[in-house]
Amino acid sequence: MAEGLVEGGSECAATTGLAEQPPERSRGAFEQLSAVADAVLYEGYLLYPYRRSSAKNRVRWQFGVLFPRDWVESDGPVVPGVSGSADSWYQQTECLLRIRRPGNASVRVRVRYLQMQRKQVEDTGHRPVASLRTDDGTVHLTFDEAVPRACEVVVPLDELLDTGRTVPVGAAAGVDVEPLPAGAGRVVRNRDEVRAETTVTAERLSDDLCRLRVRTANTGPAPASRTARDEALRRALIATHTLIGGDGVEFVSLTDPPTDLAAPARSCRNEFTFPVLGGAAEDAGHLLLSAPIILPDHPQVAPESPGDLHDAGEIDEILTLRTMLLTDEEKREARATDPRAAAILDRVDTMPQEVFERLHGAIRSLAPVAPATAPATAERPAWWQEGADGGLSPTTDTVLVDGVPLGGGSRVRLRPRGRGADAQDMFLTGRTAEVAAVFHDVDGSVHLAVTLDDDPASELHTWYGRFHYFRPDELEPLEPAGTPDEPSAPAPVAAKAPLTTDSETPAAEAE
């Protein structure tokens, strides 16, 4: 077993066994992905309005949480899935990599997570209190914080194919005491020990292809089975995710694998996490991010975003405006809750106008306009003018796709785009569905509302108007219409496709 050490936010690397020190390309690629990785690390850490008293900040840390096994399985074994929103005691990543430099290839793995830290405010008699105000008017609140941890290991690929490598990735217990001004009291920060280990192995599938497995498990002693979750978190790895790079290797997309690798891609078992290609699209598979939050290949943080708001699923402009409107008393509580909340308030309160204006939106790319298929009609009024929706009928309108008019009742096969599609939609690739309606957006684009053929709740969804929405170029007509009994094709990944996705309401494309 190689030595592994995590102290504070520092990293360790074990490189023994390499013929020579590997190039730093994979380490540099990790740093390029730091913004996305940090967004995963702190997703949901503290949500608007960033106050301790807010109900949403009393149930925290919902992604990638690895508890001691005996505690999390006290009522039965965990059920594996690719989503990391379920509590577990382990996390497993499997991916495919091509060997580009036989005999001298290496793999670099960095495991990152948060260790819970209990911040307790005490008065002058060292008695625990919920809050304390010092003479200068500063308020100090008791609240749970977290410390980022990381451990990195570099291993020759030949060793992984032979015996594998296991490294400890835990974090030591600790106590920090911070006296408050003028002897008003003190703040005591306590951390329990977190015990965990990561095992990296590889299996050769052909001369130039192998399957890599990275499995991180909480190996610590469990608290009593009826211990509250908030208390059990003290021994857990929180927001656990993995960066995987290498030298002399190239990773394969599991979301959109090459045709000849579709079968081995489907056989990869990813549990409580899912790997996607990192970095820019032209990086040719040099980096993977395996996260408990399902992401598309090559995820990026919008360059217009001035900083993390700990809610990447929300729109920066909306959160910024809401934060600006907090009352002075609410802002005082938020600042006292957590230093990261204070940093958000400082950034919002001092944001230059030109930075704020960039949050309103950006055009990343333009799609060519399809040639007109019918004689031009009178120009339709702008969407805000009276009569703008005149003549539109979602249930009877049709749109041409591959020469076939699609409308209510048409049957289609789903073909989500590889880049720019909702990450959840990718699990519906190849499934068959029925069109319910055709909707025209105010920007002139068209979306078709569909229900899945094999969704047992499709009639219920139709009754209250809950659909999946796709662009015309993401649908393949089944015309002449296929039989109603035609089975749905399986999704191209190992995970079972969910029945509902985030695409249930049409939304403007992010970025």
- H or E segment to which residue 319 belongs: helix 316-324
296: nearest Cα among 422, 464, 400: 422
- Mean pLDDT over 109-117 rounds to 97
What residue has token string 């170029």? 473
Tell me the per-residue pLDDT of 57-94, one tens digit each, with 9 for 90 and over: 888 888 999 999 999 999 899 998 888 888 999 999 99
Residue 472 DSSP one-character state: G
506: pLDDT confidence band, cut at 50, 70 and 90? very low
Partner residues linked to 275 by β-bridges: 290
3-state secondary structure 291-337: ECCCCCCCCCCCCCCCCCCCCCCCCHHHHHHHHHCCCHHHHHHHHHH
Model pLDDT, residue 444:
77
Tell me the per-residue pLDDT of 347-404, one tens digit each, with 9 for 90 and over: 999 999 999 998 888 887 776 766 555 444 456 666 566 666 667 888 889 999 988 9
Residue 261 DSSP one-character state: G
Model pLDDT, residue 385:
65
Instruction: Give dist(CA 421, CA 426) in Å, integer.
Output: 7
Instruction: Give dist(CA 73, CA 77) in Å, integer.
Output: 5
CA distances from 64 to 6, 16, 236 (A): 19, 30, 10
337: nearest Cα among 40, 45, 122, 43: 45
151: nearest Cα among 106, 92, 189, 197: 197
Helical segments of 382-483, H only:
458-464
Instruction: Give dist(CA 61, CA 132) in Å, integer.
Output: 26
Instruction: Give dist(CA 190, CA 173) in Å, integer.
Output: 8
Instruction: Give dist(CA 311, CA 373) in Å, integer.
Output: 43
Partner residues linked to 190 by β-bridges: 118, 175
Alpha carbons within 13 angstroms on the beta-carbon side of residue 158 total: 9
Q: Is the peptide bond prior to 264 cis by the omega test (within 30 degrees of 0)? A: no
Do the beta carbons of residue 144 and residue 6 sit within 8 Å? Answer: no
- Mean pLDDT over 186-193 rounds to 97
Q: What are phi and psi of 491, to 5 degrees?
A: -70, 155
Do the beta carbons of residue 92 and residue 271 sit within 8 Å? Answer: yes
Model pLDDT, residue 72:
94
Model pLDDT, residue 219:
97
Q: What are phi and psi of 120, to 5 degrees?
A: -115, 125
Instruction: Give dist(CA 338, CA 50) in Å, integer.
Output: 8
Alpha carbons within 13 angstroms on the beta-carbon side of residue 50 total: 30
* Count of beta carbons in the 10 Å neighbourhood of residue 354: 7
